[in-house]
Amino acid sequence: MAFAETQLSKIAELKPAIGKSHGRQLWHYESGADNIAAVVTAGYFNGARGIIKADDRIQLVANNAADVRLLKVTAAPEISGNITTAALDGDAA
């Protein structure tokens, strides 16, 4: 499968740290049958370009709810290039 914007929802807006121009967002994403390895592939979230920003967090529910991970968005170029993520929960992706 592929990224489905209808499965992405914003949970919260995290306050910016002092000196930062914007805060991070906390997202929830249900990937359906896609496994974690597919979702953390560079470019999976490109359909959310302009919505997801670097340093945002994504609570990922994958493999039809069999796996849950917390991801950090490591890069989110607005025009070209891939959105990339990394696991935050200590688990290998």
Determine, yes or no, domain membership for 93: no
Lowest mean pLDDT: which of 13-22, 37-46, 59-68? 13-22
- Domain of residue 83: give its range: 5-17+24-87
Strands 8-13 and 57-62: unpaired
pLDDT in tens, 22-58: 678 999 999 998 999 999 999 999 999 999 999 999 9
8 pairs with which residues across the strands?
29
H or E element that contains 71: strand 67-75
- Position 62 pLDDT exceeds 60: yes
Determine, yes or no, domain membership for 10: yes
Top-confidence residue, 92 or 23: 23
Strands of the 25-30 sheet, one edge to the other: 8-13, 25-30, 57-62, 67-75, 84-87
* Interatomic CA distance for residues 88 and 58, integer angstroms: 10
Structural domains of the chain, count: 1
Q: pTM to 2 decimals? A: 0.85
Determine, yes or no, domain membership for 62: yes
Determine, yes or no, domain membership for 92: no
* Interatomic CA distance for residues 34 and 23, integer angstroms: 29
